[in-house]
Amino acid sequence: MKPWITRATGLALIVLAFAIGACNDQPEAGPDITPSGTPIPPHSETASPTETTSVPPALSPVETVRAWVDAQNQVVQGESSDEVYALSTADCTSCRDLIEPVIEVYDAGGRYETDGWRVDAARKAPDFEQTSAVLAAVTFLPGMTFHDGESEGNAYEAEKQVLRFLLIRSNGQWHVDGIEFIE
């Protein structure tokens, strides 16, 4: 091996060792002083860390629509409506108009036997920059609705629809603010 390669490799290893060593240096702790001049008692080294909540990554507009449909499907399966409402704005009357009748069926002792909705395709509308709209081709899957615990079920066939989801961005997250059926 050429001597200059050996020297360069050795120098690189020394620089790397110093850099790694510097990362582990702890600053010397002096007494913390409050504005009144009294020392702050030292923190316990054995104290457990406080719980923190992680912020979920922001969904894209199309991901928000898909997540909304997934959350709506959870409601149709008799699960919580918390997620679908978290993905909707408080002013989204069309969201409530789609979710509340489902909740009412379950409250009356009824149920749905379906897989709900399936997003076949979704994309930002051509005028997205002005409208914040996402277009989605959705299949309402076939199933049965039992309106209460004693009624016969009402069967329904699959139906394809194009929906326009109007979105609003708030606190770095997209929310559904309206759902329109396109004919």
- Tens of pLDDT, residue by residue over 36-47, are 444 444 433 444
Return the percentage of the chain with pLDDT > 90, whole number: 66
DSSP class of residue 149 equals S
The crossing angle, in degrees rounded to 10, of helices 93-107 and 61-76 is 20
- Architecture per CATH, domain 61-182, reads as Roll (3.10)
Residue 62, H or E segment: helix 61-76
> Average pLDDT for residues 116-120, to the nearest whole number?
98
Q: Is the CB of residue 72 less than 8 Å from the CB of residue 109? A: no
Per-residue DSSP letters for 85-119?
HHTB-TT-HHHHHHHHHHHHHHHTEEEEEE--EEE
How many whole angstroms separate alpha carbon 102 and alpha carbon 96? 10
How many whole angstroms separate alpha carbon 131 and alpha carbon 153? 40
pLDDT at position 149 is 82
